[in-house]
């Protein structure tokens, strides 16, 4: 067996071990900090400085340094994971394990299927597989973030209509958020989950302004940012929250209708290239094919 294959297999085994220890280490660390009150509920960052291990040497100390160097607690990655809906304590470590696994599997598979006509071609295949291994996990995570944001963006107007009905019926805003979250559990699960988190934070003593701002930070939807700003200003100045919610709902529905009209107008332009490249040639072959064959046949008779 070639030495490079043995090295890739060893690296894969090491990645699995490191990832498993990372899941356990991160979960235990966050649990201890949560009990001590050292985790900020808004940002998920650590407010307390982690206690150093008494035995920093050995395999455990080396693995801890490796995990911290590889960016397990990267704030940007954590933000994307939360926006994609992965808000568990072990999500960053799991994502790190996936990235390492892809980085091992893709080049290893390329090593066996890459052509070996020349060394330059083989190296181009390997470099391309390494670049692809870096891009695939991040690109897949970005796609999940965009899909979830689009689902939440479409569900906001419906939630605002229900909030208007609840607020005008005399229910407080906190109770209305809880009731709407329960009603939207099946139709719009993502937005329902975020509203439940806002309600839990307010019940835990977090100021409503901070809880509402956290709603936008956890989703990254710009429409929610404008809505949260309007609700906070309404609460500060004492204006009617029902009017703010109704106007915001109408505005979001108008934006959604304009976006649909924009996409409908862009559809003919996007259909031009497939039509010219695929549909029209096949249509010409079906229509003109028999006539061309008949013409060729007739000219062949004249020549004879």
Across the chain, which distance is largest between two alpha carbons, in Å? 101
If you compute the radius of gyration of the chain from its CA atoms, what whole number of angstroms results? Answer: 29
Tokens 């490249």 -> residue: 277
How many other CB atoms are found less than 10 A from the CB of residue 30? Answer: 19
Residues whose CB falls within 8 Å of the CB of residue 14, separated by 6 or more in sequence, listed in order: none
pLDDT at 117: 81
Cα gap 182→190, rounded to integer Å? 12
User: Which token pair is 227?
Assistant: 């809505």
Cβ atoms 249, 242 nearer than 8 A: no
Phi-psi region of 244 (alpha: psi -120 to 50; beta: other; left: phi over 0): alpha
pLDDT at 148: 92
Q: Return the axis-axis angle of helices 75-83 and 91-113, rounded to nearest 10°.
A: 90
Cα gap 237→53, rounded to integer Å? 51
Residue ranges in the chain modelled with pLDDT below 70: 1-75, 303-304
pLDDT at 146: 92
pLDDT at 63: 43
Closest CA to 177 of 214, 144, 151, 148: 214
DSSP label at residue 39: B
Instruction: Provide the CA 142 distance to its chain's centre, in angstroms.
Output: 5
Q: Is 199 exposed, middle or buried (0-12, 13-18, 19+ CB in 10 A)?
A: buried
pLDDT at 52: 41
* Element at 152 (helix H, strand E): helix 119-168
> What pLDDT, in 10s, does the model give residues 201-244?
988 888 888 888 888 888 888 888 888 888 888 888 888 888 88
pLDDT at 50: 40
Cα gap 136→289, rounded to integer Å? 45
Helices and strands of the chain, counted as H and E runs: 11, 0
Cα gap 159→130, rounded to integer Å? 44
pLDDT at 110: 87
Cα gap 244→239, rounded to integer Å? 8
């Amino acid at each position: 067996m070639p030495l490079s294959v043995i090295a890739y297999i060893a690296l894969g085994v090491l990645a699995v071990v490191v990832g498993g220890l990372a899941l356990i280490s991160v979960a235990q660390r966050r649990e201890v900090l949560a009990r001590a009150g050292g985790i900020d509920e808004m940002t998920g960052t650590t407010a307390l400085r982690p206690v150093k291990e008494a035995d920093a040497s050995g395999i455990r100390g080396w693995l801890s340094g490796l995990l911290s160097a590889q960016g397990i607690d990267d704030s940007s990655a954590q933000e994307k994971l939360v926006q994609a809906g992965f808000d568990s304590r072990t999500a960053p470590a799991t994502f790190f394990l996936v990235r390492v696994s892809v980085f091992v599997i893709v080049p290893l598979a390329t090593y066996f299927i890459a052509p070996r006509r020349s060394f330059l071609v083989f190296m181009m295949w390997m470099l391309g597989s390494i670049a692809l291994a870096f891009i695939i996990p991040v690109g897949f995570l970005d796609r999940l973030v965009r899909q979830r944001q689009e689902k939440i963006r479409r569900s906001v107007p419906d939630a605002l209509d229900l909030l208007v009905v609840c607020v005008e019926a005399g229910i407080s805003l906190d109770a209305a958020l809880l009731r709407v979250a329960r009603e939207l559990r099946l139709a719009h699960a993502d937005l329902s989950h975020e509203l439940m988190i806002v309600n839990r934070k307010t019940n835990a003593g977090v100021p409503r302004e901070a809880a509402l701002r956290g709603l936008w930070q956890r989703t990254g939807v710009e429409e929610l940012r404008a809505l949260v700003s309007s609700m906070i200003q309404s609460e500060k100045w004492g204006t009617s929250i029902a009017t703010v919610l109704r106007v915001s709902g109408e505005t979001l529905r108008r934006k959604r209708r304009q976006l649909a009209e924009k996409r409908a107008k862009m559809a003919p332009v996007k259909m031009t290239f497939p039509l010219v490249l695929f549909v029209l040639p096949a249509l010409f072959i079906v229509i003109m094919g028999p006539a061309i064959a008949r013409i060729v046949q007739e000219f062949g008779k004249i020549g004879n």
